[in-house]
């Protein structure tokens, strides 16, 4: 049985080598955890104890330290992939990014120990190594945390429109292979001897500095792509607002024409009344009633913006020969950004109308159901469609108007993710079903 102070030394090293890495890895996805924060903290504590136990086994009771190190790596990787509810590409990129920096910290700490405590550097897991690791982490993890908070987290919080994260993880993986080969490829020296040579630490520093620059550029490009997607959404919203404005202007002009002509109608009706030609007067009144413009607008719900959108698309559906049914209960004070609300309803209904117009079916219809309370918003838009649905390898819907994914469906998915909700698209039996649930 090793002495207590040695158990403490190995335990401290195990925690320094694992805990900061796990905290930084979880931070960008703290709002996308599979479990509650309390449960996640409990699992991290339990996994930390397992890491300490494996460290003791490797240091004192096993001759196969490499196998135990692999088991340790697999355990925290498996936990991370399971605990975070995002695409594997994002978690893989994050884990490889931080693992590369963790390896740099280990090598730098051992090199620093060789300089400051040369008599202890050849011993495993001594207090001097933990001290050097703590100092190195204090220098490295600070700027890295700022990068994770200010740049990386905004890049992974939303889904871009392409397949970026499906392949981006290859970037940190490539840098991992590069620095690993630089240190251990074609060398007859042990890993300890390599770590104690400052030139190897310097080489690894420049490799990681270059990698960090690439990581920064990647995150900024993803953020810019998200901004462009948001601009496309806003432009689409402005187009709908312009169409609504044009529709309102037409109604105003039509009402003015009616007001201008009404005095002539009154004069003619008075003349028919004086002559006692009641049958002609009745016939003229019926004709006049049918010719009157429809200046009323159906109020679909209490939320004026949503109701205006529903009324606008009702006119388009009517002119296109589409049956249009709405059952909406949306309060005016709903705690959802008005832009998000307009983009959500506008995209889904516009897609439904486009699907009906392009379909060859005779009995075309759109059914809209919406309900909101203090906790959530539920929206379902169903439309008839018997054509062919275009999808990509990931199951996403491709646009029938242009190459690539449909901006409308991607915008809806982004809004659902923003409010920790879900967006679901299904089709079958001559119908296309779109449903969204947002948490308020």
Whether residues 263 and 225 share a domain: the answer is: no
Backbone angles phi, psi at 294, to 5 degrees: -85, 100
Q: Does pLDDT of 400 surpass 60?
A: no
Whether residues 250 and 350 share a domain: the answer is: no
DSSP secondary structure code for residue 60 in this structure: I
Which pLDDT belongs to residue 403? 46
Burial 123-133 (b: 16+ CB within 10 A, else e): eebbebbbbbb
Cα angle, residue 30 at apex, residues 175 and 40 outer, rounded to 5°: 100
CATH number at residue 385: 3.30.565.10
Q: How far apart are CA 107 and CA 192, in angstroms?
A: 9
**End of a domain among 257, 291, 325?**
291
Whether residue 387 contacts residue 400, with contact meaning beta carbons closer than 8 Å, is answered with no
Task: Quickly state the pLDDT bin for 392 (edges 50, 70, 90).
Answer: low
Sign of the C-alpha dihedral, residues 172, 414, 425, 402? negative
Whether residues 78 and 10 share a domain: the answer is: yes
pLDDT digits (tens, 9 = 90+) for 89-123: 889 999 999 988 888 898 899 999 999 999 888 88
Whether residues 225 and 313 share a domain: the answer is: no
Q: How far apart are CA 89 and CA 168, in angstroms?
A: 7
Mean pLDDT, residues 211-224: 89
Task: Quickly state the pLDDT bin for 291 (edges 50, 70, 90).
Answer: low
Which pLDDT belongs to residue 404? 43
**Which tokens go with 92?**
């893989």
C-alpha of 157 from chain center = 5
Sequential DSSP letters for 202-226: HHHHHHHHHHHHHHHHHHHHHHHHH
Whether residues 154 and 228 share a domain: the answer is: yes
Whether residues 258 and 126 share a domain: the answer is: no
Sequential DSSP letters for 114-172: HHH-TTTTTSSS-HHHHHHHHHHHHHHHHHHHHHIIIIIHHHHHS--SSSHHHHHTHHH
Mean pLDDT, residues 276-296: 71
Whether residues 114 and 151 share a domain: the answer is: yes
Mean pLDDT, residues 409-423: 86
Q: How far apart are CA 91 and CA 177, in angstroms?
A: 18
Q: Does pLDDT of 421 surpass 80?
A: yes
Average pLDDT, the chain: 83
Whether residues 78 and 216 share a domain: the answer is: yes
Whether residues 228 and 84 share a domain: the answer is: yes
Domain interval for residue 263? 235-274+278-291
Whether residue 335 contacts residue 375, with contact meaning beta carbons closer than 8 Å, is answered with no
Whether residues 175 and 309 share a domain: the answer is: no
Mean pLDDT, residues 418-439: 90
| Neighbouring residues of 419: CB distance < 8 A, sequence distance ≥ 6 | 336, 340, 438, 439, 440
DSSP secondary structure code for residue 393 in this structure: T
C-alpha count within 13 angstroms, C-beta hemisphere, residue 353: 20
Whether residues 400 and 426 share a domain: the answer is: yes
Q: How far apart are CA 205 and CA 105, in angstroms?
A: 10
Whether residues 90 and 210 share a domain: the answer is: yes
Q: What total of structural domains would you count in the chain?
A: 3
Q: How far apart are CA 428 and CA 409, in angstroms?
A: 18
Q: Percent of the chain having pLDDT more than 90? A: 28
Q: How far apart are CA 343 and CA 348, in angstroms?
A: 8
**End of a domain among 261, 291, 321?**
291
């Amino acid at each position: 049985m090793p002495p207590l102070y040695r158990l403490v030394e190995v335990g401290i090293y195990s925690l320094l080598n694992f805990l900061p890495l796990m905290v930084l890895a979880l931070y960008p996805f703290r709002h996308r955890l599979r479990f509650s924060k309390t449960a996640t903290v409990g699992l991290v504590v339990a996994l930390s104890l397992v890491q300490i136990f494996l460290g003791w086994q490797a240091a004192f009771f096993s001759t196969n330290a490499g196998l135990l190190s692999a088991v340790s790596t697999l355990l925290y990787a498996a936990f991370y992939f399971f605990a975070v509810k995002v695409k594997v590409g994002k978690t893989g990129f994050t884990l490889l990014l931080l693992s590369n920096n963790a390896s740099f910290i280990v090598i730098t700490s051992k090199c620093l120990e060789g300089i400051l405590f040369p008599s202890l550097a050849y011993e495993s897991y001594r207090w001097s190594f933990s001290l050097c690791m703590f100092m190195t982490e204090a220098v490295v993890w600070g700027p890295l945390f700022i990068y994770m908070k200010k740049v990386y987290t905004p890049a992974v919080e939303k889904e871009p429109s392409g397949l970026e994260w499906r392949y981006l993880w290859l970037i940190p993986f490539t840098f991992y292979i590069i620095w690993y080969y630089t240190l251990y490829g074609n060398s007859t020296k042990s890993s300890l001897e390599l770590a104690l040579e400052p030139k190897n630490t310097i080489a690894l520093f420049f490799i990681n500095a270059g990698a960090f620059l690439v990581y920064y550029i990647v995150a900024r490009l993803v953020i810019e792509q998200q901004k462009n997607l948001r601009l496309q959404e806003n432009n689409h919203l402005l187009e709908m607002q312009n169409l609504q404005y044009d529709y309102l202007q037409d109604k105003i002009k039509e009402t003015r024409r009616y007001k201008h002509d009404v005095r002539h109608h009154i004069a003619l009706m008075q003349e028919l009344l004086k002559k006692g030609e009641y049958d002609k007067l009745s016939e003229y009144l019926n004709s006049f009633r049918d010719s009157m413009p429809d200046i009323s607008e159906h109020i679909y719900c209490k939320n004026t913006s949503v109701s205006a959108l529903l009324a606008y698309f009702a006119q388009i559906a009517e002119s296109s020969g589409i049956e249009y049914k709405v059952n909406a209960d949306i309060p005016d004070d709903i705690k959802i950004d008005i832009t998000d609300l307009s983009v959500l309803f506008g995209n889904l209904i516009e897609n439904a109308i486009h699907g009906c117009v392009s379909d060859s079916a005779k009995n075309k219809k759109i059914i809209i159901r919406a309900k909101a309370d203090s906790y959530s918003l539920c929206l379902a838009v169903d439309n008839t469609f018997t054509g062919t649905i275009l999808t990509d390898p990931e199951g996403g819907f491709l646009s029938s108007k242009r190459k690539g994914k449909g901006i409308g469906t991607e915008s809806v998915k982004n809004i659902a993710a923003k409010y920790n909700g879900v967006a679901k698209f299904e089709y079958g039996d001559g119908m296309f079903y779109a449903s969204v649930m947002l948490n308020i």
